[in-house]
Amino acid sequence: MATSVRATSDGDSTGWRSKLYRLDTKASPYAYIAPFFLCFAAFGLFPLIYTGWLSLNQVELGTGAQWVGFHNYAELWDNQFFWNALRNTFTLGLISTVPQLLMALGLAHLLNYKLRARGFFRVAVLAPYATSIAAASLVFVQLFNPDYGMINQLLGHLGVDPVQWSSSKWPAQIAISSIVTWRWTGYNALIYLAAMQAVSGDLYEAAALDGASRWRQFVSVTIPSIRPTIFFTIIVSTIGATQLFGEPLIYGGNSGSGGSAHQYQTLSLYMYDKGWQVGELGQASAVAWVMLLILLLIGAVQLFVLRNNRRKLGG
C-alpha cells in the first residue's frame, strides 16, 4: 500500500527506486531479526544439537566419543541420585517460586497505594536484584550458619533451638530458596505493579459502588486484570527454578554434590557433578537434555493455559 503511494508521488523516476523500495520493505524485517537468529544458531542451536549428540555417546573429558545410543538415558532412569535431583529441583522450585510470587503480588498491591516515600520503597525492594548469585549466596551462607549465623541467634532469642540449616534436608532447602526469593521478589513486584497501573480505575469505581471491600476488589478486579502478567512471571520463574545452580553450588561450598546427603542437589548441580567433577560428559549431556525436555513440557502446558485464558478474556 505504501509502495503505491510512493510510486505516484514520484512519478517519473519509478523503475529501480520503487523496486529497491519494495525490496527494502520485504527484506528489512529479516535483516532486523537476523542478528538474533545468527547468534542463536551459533551459540544456542548448534551447541544444543551437539549436546544432544554427545548424550548418545560415552565421552570422557579429553577422550573421543563412543556411540552408545540411549545408554546414558537408561542409566539415568536407574540412578537414584538423578531422581533425587529431580525431586529436589521440583521442591526447591516450588518453595522458592510460590511464596516469591505471592509476596510480590501483595507487595505490588501495597506499592500501588498512594503513600509517602513510595519511590523509596520501590527502589528499596528492587535493591536485592542488583546483587549477584555469588555475592548473595556467600552472604546468606554466613547468616544461615548453624553455629554462629545470625538467624539461629535470632531464633535463640525467641526460644527456638538451633536449626541445622545445612545438614538437614528441609532447612537447607528453605535456606537456599530464601536466597532466590530475596533476590527476585521485588523485581516481580514491580512487574506486577506495572500491570496494575494499567487497570482502568472505572472497574474499581464500579466495584466500590457495588460495595466491594478493598480485599474483594483486589481479588475480583486486580487479579483477573493482570492475569497475563501473572502467567508471564510464572513461566519465567519456573524456567529460573528449573535451572537453579549457583545458589545451591555456593551454599554447598562450591561442591556439586548438593549437601552431605545430596539433600539439595538440583538437576543442574547433578549435571555439573557428572560432567566436570566425575568427567562423564556424555552422561552430563543426557541430564542437560532431560532438563530441556522438562522445561519444554512445562512451557508448553503453560502456554496452552495462557492461550486458552486469552481467548476466554477475548484478548
Partner 1 sequence: MAQLTQPVAPAGSRPSTAARPARRRFRPRAGGAGKQQSGGPVAYLFLIVATLLSLFPLYWTVVAASHTDTDIVTPPTPLLPGSHLISNLRIVWDQVDMTTALVNSTIVAGCVAFSTVLFATLAGFAFAKLEFRGRNALLTVVVATMTIPPQLTVIPLYQIITDVGWVGHIQSVILPSLVAAFGVFFMRQFLSEALPVELVEAARVDGAHSMRIIWHVVFPVARPAMAVLGMLVFVQAWNDFFWPFIALNQQNPTVQVALAGLGSGDHTIDHAVVVTGALVATLPLLLVFAVLGRQIVGGITAGAVKN
Within residues 184-213, the interface with partner 1 by CB under 8 A covers 185-187, 190-191, 193-195, 197-205, 208
With CA atoms as reference, report the closest residue to 240 among 93, 103, 110. Answer: 93
Decide: is 111 part of the binding site for partner 1 (CB under 8 A). yes
With CA atoms as reference, report the closest residue to 96 among 288, 239, 300, 220. Answer: 239
Interacting residue with partner 1 among 15, 16, 32, 158 (CB under 8 A): 32
Decide: is 311 part of the binding site for partner 1 (CB under 8 A). no
Please provide residue 17's backbone torsions phi and psi, each rounded to the nearest 5 degrees: -65, -45
Give 119's contacts (C-beta < 8 A, 6+ positions apart).
none
In whole angstroms, the minimum distance from the beta carbon of 178 to partner 1 comes to 10
Decide: is 6 part of the binding site for partner 1 (CB under 8 A). yes
> In Å, what is the CA distance from 211 to each residue of 110, 114, 220?
21, 21, 12
Per the CB < 8 A criterion, the answer to whether 18 and 6 are in contact is yes
Decide: is 271 part of the binding site for partner 1 (CB under 8 A). yes
- Nearest to partner 1 of 94, 212 (CB atom): 212
Decide: is 37 part of the binding site for partner 1 (CB under 8 A). yes
In whole angstroms, the minimum distance from the beta carbon of 138 to partner 1 comes to 5
In whole angstroms, the minimum distance from the beta carbon of 314 to partner 1 comes to 13
Stretch touching partner 1 by CB under 8 A, among 74-82, 85-93, 163-171, 270-278 = 270-278
Burial group, residue 13, by CB count within 10 angstroms (0-12, 13-18, 19+): exposed
Give 190's contacts (C-beta < 8 A, 6+ positions apart).
108, 111, 122, 125, 126
- Nearest to partner 1 of 169, 294 (CB atom): 294
Interacting residue with partner 1 among 173, 237, 242, 257 (CB under 8 A): 242
With CA atoms as reference, report the closest residue to 132 among 35, 247, 21. Answer: 247
Stretch touching partner 1 by CB under 8 A, among 76-84, 91-99, 131-139, 163-171 = 131-139
Grid coordinates given for 154: 535470632
User: Which of positions 249-268 make contact with partner 1 (CB under 8 A)?
Assistant: 250, 253-254, 268
Number of chain residues interacting with partner 1 (CB under 8 A): 114
- Nearest to partner 1 of 169, 199 (CB atom): 199
Stretch touching partner 1 by CB under 8 A, among 73-81, 83-91, 166-174, 245-253 = 245-253
Phi-psi group of 176: left, alpha or beta (phi > 0 → left; psi -120 to 50 → alpha; rest → beta): alpha
Could you write out the DSSP letters of every residue in 233-248?
A: HHHHHHHHHHT--HHH
In whole angstroms, the minimum distance from the beta carbon of 111 to partner 1 comes to 7
Per the CB < 8 A criterion, the answer to whether 78 and 309 are in contact is no
- Nearest to partner 1 of 122, 169 (CB atom): 122
Interacting residue with partner 1 among 14, 63, 70, 123 (CB under 8 A): 123
With CA atoms as reference, report the closest residue to 126 among 177, 192, 175. Answer: 192
User: Which of positions 43-102 make contact with partner 1 (CB under 8 A)?
Assistant: 43-44, 46-48, 50-51, 54
